Amino acid sequence: MGLIVQKFGGTSVANVERILNVAACVKEETERGNNVVVVVSAMGKSTDQLVGLAKEISPQPNKREMDMLLSTGEQVTISLLSMAINQQGLNAVSFTGWQAGIVTEPVHGNARISKINTEAIQTQLSDGKVVIVAGFQGVTEEGEITTLGRGGSDTTAVALAAALKADKCDIYTDVTGVFTTDPRYVKSARKLLSVSYDEMLELANLGAGVLHPRAVEFAKNYQVQLEVRSSMEKIVGTVIEGEATMEQNLVVRGVAFEDEITKVTVLGLSNSLTSLSTIFTTLAQNHLNVDIIIQSTTEGGSANLSFSIHTNDLLETLKVLEDNKEVLGYEQLDAENKLAKVSIVGSGMISNPGVAAKMFEVLAANNIQIKMVSTSEIKVSAVVEEKQMLKAVEALHAAFELSK
């Protein structure tokens, strides 16, 4: 008898009909003789509705209270799904984050899981029950409700799979797997049968929305076998594991993209040696994620620094920088909105030094200006204007022959 963790996202539980569909999906898994732990997100747009209510009350709602508010979304889903499964004659029991023993660091809005006390879940599994856990949420050692930030339900599922030593973690979503690029925007996108953790990590980090990067990290660290698959269509998905079965020895395996990027520039940093670390330490302490970083030194000896962030974090980033202006010692701040990041990813890149050059060539040939560049061993990212994003993706997808 195996143990499977299933995760269903917001679209898969958007209404009563879909929740009943999920219940059927859970039942099938139990009929294959497996114990099942199910992790669910909030129903469809319910999180957006809650955020809307909060914004009506306060332009910058208290973060602790925001977690208190948003965590109700998943709690609604777990109870309804449990009713649906009970209604089918199985025994199910739902757990909020705190009931499931998901302990996080004491941070609101973007907490990391610090440990999982699995006793309560194990007891219910031993009793033959299906255990339904609210994704996206946890509790601090002090009993404060926290949320895990964007895509946190994926992280909950993988962390539970790791803690419970599950045989597999199935991520059910509204797409049938991981594609060479987003099939909603690029028709020639092709589904991959398997990708490695590292490739998926880059794809996820780069905005391929099917899976949260932290979830992939967790899966890699604890060697949890993942499968991304459709909750609507019963077809094989994409397996994510240690060593991907290479379908073809492709250099580039996918093109990822992400909009709502803002480039922040700090001009005239007087003492670049210490101020650089001070800036990013300060931003990190405020839980502001910085992506690409570029530094240049001017003739006078001072430095200019640019970095990219999610546009949502702009106001808070500027506030942190302004509050620390004296310590940081810069002259001026600048921000450029409406940017996007386009990236090519593939393990094969390591041994193919010409890949980045080819990417820049393709973008230039399409009159797409590159604002920032970042590279790692298995990916190259370019920040471009948001309005040119899809054009860039299509050109790269074609140039690297990903639809074949």
Which residues here bind a copy of itself, judged by CB under 8 A? 16, 19-20, 50, 53-54, 56-58, 61-62, 64-66, 68-69, 71-72, 75-76, 78-80, 82-84, 86-87, 93-94, 96, 98-99, 120, 143, 145
Rank residues 20 and 320 by Cβ distance to a copy of itself and give the closer one.
20
DSSP assignment of 275-327: HHHHHHHHHHHTT-----EEEEE-TTS-EEEEEEEEGGGHHHHHHHHHHTHHH
Please report how close the Cβ of residue 39 comes to a copy of itself at its closest, in angstroms.
15
Q: How far is the CB of 53 from a copy of itself (least distance, A)?
A: 6
Least distance (Å) between residue 101 CB and a copy of itself: 10
Measure the CA angle with vertex 300, ends 298 and 304; round to 5°. Answer: 30
Strands, E, within 78-167: which ranges?
Answer: 92-95, 102-104, 113-116, 130-134, 137-139, 145-147
- Residue number with CB closer to a copy of itself (54 or 320): 54
- CB of 67 vs a copy of itself, minimal distance in Å: 8
Q: Which residues pair with 379 in a beta bridge?
A: 345, 376
Closest CA to 142 of 110, 104, 109: 104
Residue 140: CB atoms within 10 Å: 17
Q: Cβ 222 to a copy of itself, closest distance in Å?
A: 27
- Which lies closer to a copy of itself via its Cβ, residue 122 or residue 302? 122
Nearer to a copy of itself, 83 or 318 (CB): 83
Neighbouring residues of 120: CB distance < 8 A, sequence distance ≥ 6: 95, 99, 100, 101
Query: What's the min distance (Å) between Cβ of 38 and a copy of itself?
Result: 13
Separation of first and last alpha carbons in the chain: 39
**Which of residues 69 and 244 has its CB atom nearest to a copy of itself in the complex?**
69
- Residue (68 or 293) nearer to a copy of itself, CB: 68
